Structure formats: C-alpha cells, structure tokens
C-alpha cells in the first residue's frame, strides 16, 4: 500500500489499486470519533452516450440519477434502512459527472462498510419497483421545474452550451425517465459500476489494511476497462443566446450570468485552472472586491450575490448570480470591471490576500471528513490528489489570473439568464 505524507497538513494518505481496478484511498484520523466512507463511480447526469464492448449506446436524460435511487433496493429490503439500523447516517447524490453513496458513523463501521460495498456492487431491480420510482421521481421533477433557481440555472447553461448534455437536468424529464426499464438499469450498472470506474474513500479512525482487505474480499477480482464516453458535438460559438428571460413567482428579478471556459485539463493542470478560475472570480466579483462593494452600496445587488468557477471533465464556466432590480446593469458593470483589470493589471496586495483566504478555505475543508472524501474522489477522476491543492495554489500567479480573464472573459462570451416577477 502506497503512503503519501502531507506534513504541512499533518495528514497521511494511503492508496491501493486492486486487481479489478478499484482505487482505494484511506486517510486515518486517530483523534476523530466520526468515520466516513464514500463509494463513487465516474458516472453522472452528463454521461448519456458511451461505448461498451465496441458498441455506442445512447441513454435517456436522468438515468444516472434514477439508478442512484434504485440501487438502495436489495433482495431482502433496503440498504438505507439497514445502514440506519446499524447507527449510520447514509445518503447519496448524482452530479453531472459522478454518483456517490456515503455514510458516517461512530460505531458499527465494519458492518456499515460491508453493507455499502455490497449494495452498490450488487444491483436488484424489478419492473414493479422501476414503475413505482418513475412516479416518485416524476413528482420530484414537476416540483423542481417550478423552482425559479432551477429554471435560472439550466436556462443559463442552455445559453452557453448548444450540445453538451450538462445543459440538461441531472434528474431528466418525466418523458425521458419513462423510457427506463429494469433491464436498462442492469445494463448501465454493468457498464459504469465496474470497479475500474470507481473509487472508495474512507476517512476517520480506521485501519487502511482492513478497508483494502474487505473491498478485495467482497468485490469481483476480474478487471474490465471503463466505458468510453462521448459528450456530442463540440460547442464552437461563444454563446447560444446572449439573453433569456422568463417570468415566475419571484419578488425581485433573479439573474445568472457568465461565460464558457475551455475544459479538458487533467492532473495538476486541472487543479491549477480550477484555482485560477476561483481566484479570478473572487478578484473580480467576490465579497471583498470593489465591484461588489459598489454594487451593494448602490442597491443593485443583495447579500445573496455570488461568483464562482465550475469545471468538470468536459465543461467549465465562470458565473455570477443573485437578485437585482437591474440585472443587465450588473453584467455591464462586471464587463467594465474586467476591462479595467485588463488595463491596470492585478493589484498584488489584494491578490495575495485572496490566495491566503483560499488557502484557509482549503485547510478548513480538509478538516471536514465529508468534504475531504468528496474532494479526493473528485480529484482522482481528474487525475489529481486533493491534498496537493495547497501546493498548486502557491504556483498560481497574478499573471495566471490576468491571462485567464483575458482569454476567457471577453464581452462576446457572456450570456445572462433572468427570471422576472410575474
């Protein structure tokens, strides 16, 4: 078992890759009462077209999320109930690029980890349970489609992506999930829930050898290569549409604006782009930025205003969002701030302060067992190690941030989505 020492953080990362391709990460924390396990597959809502056994297959929107819901079913009952009965707090989620099942507990860890590995790796579906779940998830879809924030977000994504499936809801539509059958779920589980496409991460007062031996005992030993994914035609135009507006039951206009960024980096290059994008968003529009102070003082934005950078295997974008009586003016003020920054350059004192704040955020995140597991798993799927981020952050310069802004945040690349009051 390989060990990596992170002396600055006081952490040791143990890693092992089994014969079947499963990568296991264990980060012991002897002083912690809580133990946390995170079992994830590189399969999310955007992974709808893939190649398996030499054949390309297309699947309906929402099927990764649907499979996540149904995988808790077992031949003898329900894994959620089993874990809860043994003192664990279990849950799961599906994002655009991964599906994860996790639990935390203070006692009964060995039995809970066994339950987690078994129900995720041994599917059990019936036609009746699939039909029932279609009704349940269909109701959830109807509810979220009435949520202004949900509509705002996906209208924004549809404004910057013409083809990439990240533009579609992870939950799918009532029509798309109606196409799902029990056999479809079995086929998708066989394709994406093979160990070579998965990661098991455990943090807490645990023995790394025990975790590795249990996974080796419970999982099949044969190696099968992960499926090849395809995200469709590449988006080439800067935007699909510069502005989209809708009316819903909101008190004041809500907006989300941003620009698409070229993705596809791996390893430390991926981490550097992510950290650079984060620093760029904080420098331009974070809550300590002059732009935020000015807009807030003028009453153009409220305290819920936020900025950020999001990226995955095949997508990336910069965005701002919030509530404003004049969303168009907010976007124009941002563009003016970008032009001013490109003309005057980055103020080094403020940039270094933002780097220190980012460093503190990362360290606090590593102290949280759930955040640490999630970050390490996500980093693995991008060919990186989460705990390396502190060192990568130190490599990011003000020139990197300025280059990021100049290359990606040009005026013609911005789109805005607005929800107006009825």
pLDDT given for residue 405 in this prediction: 98
**Does the active-site annotation cover 128?**
no
Say yes or no: 253 and 218 in one domain: no
Task: With respect to residue 237, please indicate whether it lies within any of the assigned structural domains.
Answer: no
Task: With respect to residue 312, please indicate whether it lies within any of the assigned structural domains.
Answer: yes
Query: Which H or E run includes 173?
Result: none
Examine the fold and report which residue of 230, 260, 280 is the final residue of a domain before the chain moves on. 230
pTM of the model: 0.93
Q: What is the CA radius of gyration of the chain?
A: 22
pLDDT given for residue 52 in this prediction: 81
pLDDT given for residue 71 in this prediction: 96
Residue 156 to residues 108, 184, 249, 335, 417: CA-CA distances in angstroms? 45, 31, 18, 17, 5
The catalytic residue among 16, 68, 133, 337 is: 68
Task: With respect to residue 236, please indicate whether it lies within any of the assigned structural domains.
Answer: no
Q: Cβ contacts of residue 241 below 8 Å, gap of 6+?
A: 159, 415
Lowest-confidence range among 159-168, 199-208, 262-271?
A: 262-271
Say yes or no: 250 and 398 in one domain: yes
Say yes or no: 219 and 249 in one domain: no
Say yes or no: 192 and 159 in one domain: yes
Percent of the chain with pLDDT over 90: 94
Percent of the chain with pLDDT over 70: 100
Give the residue-averaged pLDDT of 389-407. 97
Say yes or no: 7 and 109 in one domain: yes
Say yes or no: 286 and 408 in one domain: yes
Q: How confident is the model at residue 31 (pLDDT cuts 50, 70, 90)?
A: confident
pLDDT > 90? residue 373? yes
**What are residue 94's phi and psi, to 5 degrees?**
-125, 125
* Structure tokens belonging to residue 57: 């297959």
pLDDT tens digits, 144-194: 889 999 999 999 999 999 999 999 999 999 999 999 999 999 999 999 999
Say yes or no: 20 and 132 in one domain: yes
Handedness of CA 323, 328, 333, 337 (dihedral sign): positive
Average pLDDT, the chain: 95
Give the residue-averaged pLDDT of 207-225. 97
**What are residue 303's phi and psi, to 5 degrees?**
-70, -10
pLDDT given for residue 421 in this prediction: 96
Task: With respect to residue 235, please indicate whether it lies within any of the assigned structural domains.
Answer: no
Say yes or no: 127 and 173 in one domain: yes
Say yes or no: 135 and 109 in one domain: yes
pLDDT given for residue 380 in this prediction: 97
Q: How many domains does the chain have?
A: 2
pLDDT > 80? residue 371? yes
* Structure tokens belonging to residue 388: 């390396």
pLDDT given for residue 265 in this prediction: 85
Q: How confident is the model at residue 264 (pLDDT cuts 50, 70, 90)?
A: confident
pLDDT given for residue 72 in this prediction: 96
Say yes or no: 168 and 122 in one domain: yes
Give the 3-state secondary structure of residue 13: strand
Torsion angle of alpha carbons 400, 403, 408, 410, nearest 10°?
140
Say yes or no: 44 and 170 in one domain: yes
Examine the fold and report which residue of 230, 256, 290 is the final residue of a domain before the chain moves on. 230
Say yes or no: 115 and 253 in one domain: no
What range does the domain containing 18 cover? 2-230
Q: How confident is the model at residue 390 (pLDDT cuts 50, 70, 90)?
A: very high
Q: How confident is the model at residue 308 (pLDDT cuts 50, 70, 90)?
A: very high
Domain at 411, CATH number: 3.30.830.10
Task: With respect to residue 238, please indicate whether it lies within any of the assigned structural domains.
Answer: no
Q: Cβ contacts of residue 323 below 8 Å, gap of 6+?
A: 252, 253, 254, 255, 301, 302, 304, 305
pLDDT > 80? residue 218? yes
What DSSP string describes 211-272?
HHHHHHHHS-----PPPEEE--SPP-SS-S-SEEEEEES-SS-EEEEEEE------HHHHHH
């Amino acid at each position: 078992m390989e060990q990596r020492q992170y002396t600055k953080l006081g952490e040791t990362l143990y890693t092992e890759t089994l014969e079947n391709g499963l990568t296991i990460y264990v980060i012991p924390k002897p002083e912690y009462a809580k133990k946390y396990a995170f079992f994830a597959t590189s399969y999310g809502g955007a992974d709808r077209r893939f190649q398996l056994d030499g054949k390309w297959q297309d699947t309906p929107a929402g099927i990764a999320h649907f499979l996540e819901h149904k995988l808790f079913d077992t031949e003898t009952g329900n894994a959620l109930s089993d874990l809860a009965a043994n003192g664990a707090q279990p849950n799961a989620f599906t994002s655009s690029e991964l599906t994860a099942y996790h639990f935390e507990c203070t006692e009964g860890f060995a039995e809970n980890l066994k339950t987690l590995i078994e129900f995720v790796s041994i599917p059990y579906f019936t036609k009746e349970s699939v039909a029932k779940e279609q009704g349940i998830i269909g109701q959830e879809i109807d509810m979220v489609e009435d949520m202004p924030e949900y509509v705002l977000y996906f209208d924004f994504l549809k404004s910057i992506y013409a083809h990439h499936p990240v533009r579609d809801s992870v939950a799918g539509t009532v029509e798309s999930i109606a196409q799902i059958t029990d056999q479809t779920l079995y086929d998708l589980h066989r394709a994406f829930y093979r160990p070579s496409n998965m990661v098991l991460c455990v943090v807490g007062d645990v023995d790394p050898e025990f975790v590795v031996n249990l996974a080796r005992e419970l999982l099949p030993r044969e190696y099968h290569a992960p499926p090849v994914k395809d995200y469709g035609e590449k988006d080439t135009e800067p935007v699909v549409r510069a502005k989209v507006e809708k009316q819903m039951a909101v008190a004041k206009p809500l907006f989300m604006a941003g620009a698409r960024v070229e993705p596809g980096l791996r390893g430390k290059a991926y981490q550097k782009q992510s950290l650079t994008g984060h620093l760029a968003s904080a420098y331009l529009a974070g809550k300590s930025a002059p732009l935020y102070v000015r807009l807030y003082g003028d009453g153009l934005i409220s305290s819920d205003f936020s900025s950020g950078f999001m990226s995955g295997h095949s997508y990336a974008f910069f965005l701002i969002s919030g509530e404003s009586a004049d969303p168009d003016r907010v976007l124009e003020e941002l563009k003016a701030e970008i032009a001013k920054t490109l003309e005057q350059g980055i103020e080094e004192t403020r940039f270094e302060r933002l780097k220190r704040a980012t460093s503190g955020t990362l360290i606090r995140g590593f102290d949280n067992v759930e955040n640490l597991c999630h970050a390490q798993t996500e980093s693995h799927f991008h060919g990186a190690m989460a705990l390396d981020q502190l060192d990568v952050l130190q490599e990011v310069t003000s020139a990197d941030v300025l280059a990021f802004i100049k290359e990606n945040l040009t005026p013609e690349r911005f789109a805005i989505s607005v929800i107006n009051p009825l």
